[in-house]
Amino acid sequence: MKDRLDPWTVGEIKDYQNLFTEFGIGSFESYQKKLSDNRYVRRGIIFGQRDFGRIMSAIEKKEKFAMMTGLMPSGRFHFGHKMVADQIINYQLMGAETFLCCADLEAYLMRGISYPDARKIAVEEYLTNYVALGLTEKNLHFWFQSDYVMPYYRLRDMLAKKLTLNELKAIYGDLTPGKIFSVITQAADILHPQLPEFGGRKPTVVPVGADQDPHIRLTRDLAARFAGEFDFIPPSSTYHKFMRGLSGGKMSSSDPRSHIALTESPEEAAAKISRAKTGGRNTVEEQKKDGGVPEDCMVYDLLLYHLIDDDKELLKVYGDCKSGILLCGECKKKTAELLKEFLVEHQKKRLKAKATVDSILENRLRTK
């Protein structure tokens, strides 16, 4: 049987190459030069895309385009989430109309999270951190799936007409009514920015992890089925690699040992670095002789994704690790310092974010 990407039970994705050959995701390599300001692009963390050419061309010609993505309010906001936030903010800075949804319906149906809890997490964890990281109200549309406006719900209901049960089974395997609702709602999230009520058709990019690709493929197919009714442009997407957890394996908001939250005390965070899985050897002698393996190192991951923006500086760590000049103790100490510095600054910014967060919530479109 073919592999299936399951949006609700992803562990780790071990073989990114397979996503190109089996699922038809395109490589992001050809955009690396043009978007080299972006650390995640430059370092191959954003590795795949569908139809990104449309977005690149809109950026280059300064034409209207939208960015749309959703957040699953399921727990504490950690460094894996920061990567997505940075991407959202980057598109906003490039002039995208920024559509950002809280998937509280999906959280309720698929993860058993109540609406009040989902809202609290979305506001205190996600929105506040987004704003502290640089999200502004400019061109921003934020909504809750459970509390939005009629044209969105009307589109969602119309999407049902264009789907068959067999098609959904082929994509998602075992179905439940909750899955079906989540899937169709997500398609409405992605397509509704192109409704006349939201300014009409426009290229839309959806930055996600590869686990979300089944939704993207389905939504792209759905877009085409409305030819004549709505002239949707099939949404484009980009795919990023997931950061691994601190002890290897998956980084998960429900396992505090696997992640560092952006609200964590800097000291606690630093202590987690000292316990993190590294690519170091068993003994100092061995490491001096054979060098470390940064590719297998969770400390290096933090530097690569977040803490060192200067490529030369990162390359030096990489080279010194490989050649055994740099030992894990020293490297961890330096990383812990960078981390502490970041968290102290970030947490100050969080305190100042409240007014903007309140205003985003107050001004959002919702059911009156």
Given the rule CB under 6 A, which residues bind ligand SF4? 278-280, 292, 294, 297, 299-300, 321, 326, 328, 331-332
Q: How far is the CB of 299 from ligand SF4 (least distance, A)?
A: 4
If one asks whether residue 97 binds ligand TRP (CB under 6 A), the answer comes out as no
> What mask of x and - would describe binding to ligand TRP in positions 304 to 343, judged by CB under 6 A?
----------------------------------------
3-class SS letters over the chain? CCCCCCCCCCCCCCCHHHHHHHHCCEECHHHCCCCCCCHHHHCCCEEEEECHHHHHHHHHHCCCCEEEEEECCCCCCEHHHHHHHHHHHHHHHCCCEEEEEECHHHHHHHHCCCHHHHHHHHHHHHHHHHHHHCCCCCCEEEEECCECCHHHHHHHHHHHHCCCHHHHHHHHCCCCHHHHHHHHHHHHHHHHHHCHHHCCCCCEEEEEEHHHHHHHHHHHHHHHCCCCCCCCCCCEEEEECCCECECECECCCCCCCCCCECCCCHHHHHHHHHHCCCCCCCCHHHHHHHCCCHHHCHHHHHHHHHHCCCHHHHHHHHHHHHCCCCCHHHHHHHHHHHHHHHHHHHHHHHHHHHHHHHHHHHHCCCCC
Q: Output 45 or 326, the one with its CB closest to ligand SF4.
A: 326
Distance in Å, CB of 39 to ligand SF4, minimum: 17
Contact partner, 69, from ligand SF4, ligand TRP, none, Cβ < 5-8 Å per class = ligand TRP
Q: Contact between 109 and ligand TRP (CB under 6 A)?
A: no
Report how many residues bind ligand TRP under the rule CB under 6 A: 14
Q: Select from 48, 70, 291, 294 the one that contacts ligand TRP (CB under 6 A).
A: 70
Question: Binding to ligand TRP by residue 75, rule CB under 6 A?
Answer: no
- Between 70 and 280, whose beta carbon lies closer to ligand TRP? 70
Q: Which stretch binds ligand TRP (CB under 6 A): 98-106, 135-143, 306-314, 338-346?
A: 98-106
